[in-house]
Amino acid sequence: MNSAALTAGGELAGRILDVLAEATTDAPGITRVAYGAGERFAHDLVRKEAEKLGAVARVDVAGNLYLTLSGRDPDLPALVIGSHLDSVAHGGNFDGAAGVVAGLAVMAELGARGIRLPRELIVLATRAEEAVWFPLSYPGSQAALGLLNPQALEARRSDSGRTLAEHMLEEGFDPDAARRGVPGIGAAQIAAFIEVHIEQGPRLVTAKAPIGIVTGIAGGFRYVDAKCLGAYAHSGAEPRFARHDAVLGFADLVAALEIEWDALEREGHDATITFGRVQSDPTQHGGSRVLGELGFTLDVRSSETTVLERVEARLRTILAEVSARRGVTFELGQRFTWQPATMAPALIEGLDRAATGLKMQAPHVPSGAGHDAATFAGAGIPTAMLFVRNENGSHNPHEAMEITDLDQAIRLLLRFVTDFDNSPD
């Protein structure tokens, strides 16, 4: 499909994404820091574009942006399409932003076709979804629903060392109100929340499908500052029986958790176990030393709560066994958790019907990564997600979503929202 075959909304989405890419380029990718200049630019841009479409804009106490297109009955709960606009450092242009511009594209299509929905349509651009900036799960969307843990406001941004509260205040928002749980929108005001996002894995590419309907979002736990502590020693002089080798202790941990992962897969369970960062102190390590300290991160994810509990229990047993065998100790540090989220079956059925009506291929796929949609699902709000095919993963400058694939998601969303109040219960 060439650009001439795009919907007007698809053309709008492509244009906005091009402007975003140019304005937030940070070679070799793009950077939109949470509560920073890049995120601010993106919010300002989509606000201006939405206002051109007749939407009314407002922000909440945490800076989440609500772009509302009126419906025929203002008392009905709204349809909300949303995602985030921040990015990781030197990342890709589409992670998060594609979902926000897809919502604007639906607004554009409704206007071009002279359609006024029975209920309001809100495009929501959340803040600070990428945990690389603040070690938190979805603080923007949590604040939108009045669910932000007050302690989260003391989390420090990775680049500045300053707190979330300080950055909120600097951007002109109200962290004290966020601390009190003042919501931007209540759960009862939302009929359904739908998030469009690029897929961050290879399933749709492998299936040669432009879009997919998400069945659920994995939960997980993460340790971001874990350590294996042994004792530094001379590599030649220290005999094996006397060593307290942090490398061997860590290696035993990795091997034992991979055995557990193998067992989970044999039993048909879905999980991922990742040691994303492994490091030693360059002022202490050396080619002729037994390493006395090794730092690492551990990230465990699954859509099944029982699997997460099982891996956590097994982790504790492994640490005790390795500590005894290798003469080392482990300090895991602070633990971050987020719950699995199941997408609403009724909304999945509605998306299936829309795809069938449009003769689109839209397979069901899981999400191993976390998304703002998990916050809304966790609050009991009917929630759905669409993935858009994207090569080369995400969180890197090589994201390769095609605007024609995003246009398919826009078409599907348009059919879904126009059919929403005519769908069977």
With tokens 């894995």, the residue in question is 201
- Report pLDDT for 25: 96
Adjacent-strand bridge partners of 29: 26
- Report pLDDT for 338: 85
- Count the Cβ atoms, other than its own, within 10 Å of residue 364: 14
- Residue 43: enclosing H or E segment and its boundaries? helix 37-52
- Report pLDDT for 424: 66
Q: By C-alpha distance, which of 399, 404, 345, 342 is closest to 373?
A: 342
Average pLDDT, stretch 188-200? Answer: 97
Q: Are 134 and 148 in contact (CB under 8 A)?
A: no
- Report pLDDT for 111: 96
pLDDT digits (tens, 9 = 90+) for 134-151: 988 899 999 999 999 999
Sequence ranges of the domains in the chain: 3-218+340-422, 220-338
How does DSSP classify residue 77?
A: P
pLDDT digits (tens, 9 = 90+) for 170-186: 999 999 999 999 999 99
- Count the Cβ atoms, other than its own, within 10 Å of residue 306: 9
Average pLDDT, stretch 140-168? Answer: 97
Average the pLDDT over each of 50-54, 353-357, 369-373 and give the range with the smallest value: 369-373
Q: Write out the two tokens for 174.
A: 């109200």
pLDDT digits (tens, 9 = 90+) for 77-125: 999 999 999 999 999 999 999 999 999 999 999 999 999 999 999 999 9
**φ and ψ at 62, to 5 degrees?**
-100, 0
Tell me: pLDDT of 2 over 50: no
Q: Which CATH architecture has domain 220-338?
A: 2-Layer Sandwich (3.30)
Q: Which CATH architecture has domain 3-218+340-422?
A: 3-Layer(aba) Sandwich (3.40)
Q: Residue 320: what residue type?
A: A
- Report pLDDT for 423: 67
Tell me: pLDDT of 370 over 90: no
Please check whether the two domains, 3-218+340-422 and 220-338, share a CATH topology: no
Average pLDDT, stretch 264-277? Answer: 95
- Report pLDDT for 1: 37
Using DSSP's 3-state secondary structure scheme, residue 303 falls into coil
